[in-house]
């Protein structure tokens, strides 16, 4: 049968675009459908604008630190509207770059929602196209928790377009998105209260990393209300009132001037895709795939956040390129989910790769040995601040292999990216010890821990 396309992609986010371009490089005729701006969550409502706001949030402390080095005091105020404008201008510039890349790859773009009519037919508005193979790469969306008055809260999607800076903000959720935005807003001068159901933020990360960040956030003025069981939001003349109740029935009301931010997780965008017209199966909303990203329908595939494996942009890109290599490049390969590094752009920054201490002890038991260091970096000595960096290696004593590396401190992401290569290659603690450190640097501590 003749099809309109060799590959048709639903969703022009990081994973979808990566797959489309790689497949086109191999000579496939490719089409892609997107109802929103190109680039998906990462470019438009995630990694890119968030990291730019992280940079913006660091300047007040940099101005302050400079005085310790002999610079005169700087009196500066944030123009929130300008910051939002320049951040969104950069997003628009990147949208144009994605458009150019797809055009150069001769990928045909369809504006609108893609929906399955059958396993080989997609409807986009009043158009229908057929394809031999179809990729679902529709990403995810923020969850609005079942809380009384949740309609008065914004999500992480809306934070980038607030017309005015909130003076007081309540952040609901202790995951990495909520914690990052708590730090960003605090750095920009907003008074922040973070409400979490657990005892410590960042569930799923290494416990030392979680504790270090939470302690630092408190030192920087962020108030964290933990062990919260009930939450209710109410709109009034003063803004938004958030009432919380703790595990001992203690009750407290926090007033935010305009909004509260709900950042309690994300779900796959798998509704209204017409999946009922195919054999594609889902579990808790996520599309079920095998190691080759293939669904139960042999010609339909899925990558990225809609599969809810590891929801990171580089993972979606790697999954997509592996799929294109397999289907069109004659180079079958699968995505490895072991030792994937990740960062948390809080203040202080954190990054991690490999197993947490708890995961390692569960798998390797008493063979696990932990090396840990905590110190004040040289930068902060003249600035007169008691900021700390924490580094940690988790090692299997039977093989001497490093199972995990964790860091909290300035440039953690940049440092852990290099450490991740070593761990991915199976480096041992002896390999770390034999490596000469760069002095003076924080990174050298990773090769001097005893």
**CA distances (Å), 391 to each of 105, 209, 409, in order?**
43, 9, 8
CB 169 within 8 A of CB 92: no
Alpha carbon distance 201, 394 (integer Å)? 21
In degrees and rounded to multiples of 5, residue 232 shows phi and psi of: -140, 140
- What are the two backbone dihedrals, phi and then psi, of residue 68, each rounded to the nearest 5 degrees? -65, -20
Query: How many degrees, rounded to 5, is the angle at CA 90 between CA 87 and CA 93?
Result: 155
Rounded Cα distance, 411 and 301, in Å: 37
CB distance 176 to 183 below 8 Å: no
Which candidate, 34, 30, 24, 33, places its Cα nearest to that of 7?
Answer: 30
User: Which amino acids are annotated catalytic?
Assistant: 439
Backbone angles phi, psi at 194, to 5 degrees: -105, 130
Token code pair at residue 77:
């105020």
């Amino acid at each position: 049968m003749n099809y309109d396309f060799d590959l048709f992609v639903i969703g022009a986010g990081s994973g979808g675009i990566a797959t489309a371009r790689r497949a086109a490089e191999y000579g496939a005729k490719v089409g892609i459908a997107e109802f929103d701006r190109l680039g998906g969550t990462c470019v438009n409502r995630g990694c890119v604008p968030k990291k730019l706001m992280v940079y913006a949030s660091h300047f007040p402390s940099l101005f302050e630190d400079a005085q310790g080095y002999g610079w005169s005091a700087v009196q500066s105020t944030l123009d929130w509207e300008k910051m939002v404008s320049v951040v969104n201008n950069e997003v628009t510039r990147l949208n144009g770059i994605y458009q150019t890349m797809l055009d150069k790859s001769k990928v045909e773009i369809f504006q609108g929602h893609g929906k399955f009519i059958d396993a080989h037919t997609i409807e986009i508005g009043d158009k229908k196209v057929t394809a031999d193979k179809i990729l679902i790469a529709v990403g995810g969306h923020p969850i609005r928790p079942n809380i009384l008055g949740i309609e008065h809260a914004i999500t992480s999607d809306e934070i980038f377009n607030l017309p005015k800076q909130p003076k007081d903000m309540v952040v609901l959720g202790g995951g990495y998105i909520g914690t990052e935005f708590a730090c960003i807003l605090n750095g920009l001068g907003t008074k922040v209260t973070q409400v979490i159901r657990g005892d410590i933020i960042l569930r799923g990360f290494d416990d030392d990393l979680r504790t270090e960040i939470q302690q630092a956030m408190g030192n920087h003025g962020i108030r964290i209300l933990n062990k919260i069981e009930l939450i209710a939001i109410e709109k009034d003349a003063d803004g938004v009132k958030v009432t919380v109740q703790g595990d001992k029935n203690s009750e407290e009301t926090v007033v935010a001037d305009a909004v509260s931010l709900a950042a309690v997780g994300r779900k796959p965008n798998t509704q209204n895709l017409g999946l009922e017209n195919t054999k594609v199966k889902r579990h808790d909303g996520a599309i079920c795939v095998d190691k080759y990203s293939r669904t139960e329908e042999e010609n339909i595939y899925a990558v990225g956040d809609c599969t809810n494996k590891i929801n990171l942009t580089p993972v979606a890109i790697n999954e997509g390129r592996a799929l294109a290599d397999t289907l069109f490049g004659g180079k079958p390969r699968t995505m490895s989910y072991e030792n994937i590094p990740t960062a948390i752009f809080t203040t202080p920054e954190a990054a991690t790769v490999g197993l947490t201490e708890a995961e390692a002890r569960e798998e390797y038991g008493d063979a696990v040995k932990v090396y840990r260091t905590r110190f004040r970096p040289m930068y902060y000595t003249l600035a007169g601040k008691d900021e700390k960096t924490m580094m940690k290696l988790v090692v299997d004593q039977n093989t001497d292999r490093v199972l995990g590396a964790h860091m909290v401190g300035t440039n953690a992401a940049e440092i852990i990216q290099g450490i991740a290569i070593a761990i991915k290659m199976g480096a041992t603690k002896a390999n770390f010890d034999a490596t000469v450190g760069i002095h003076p640097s924080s990174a050298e501590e990773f090769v001097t821990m005893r």
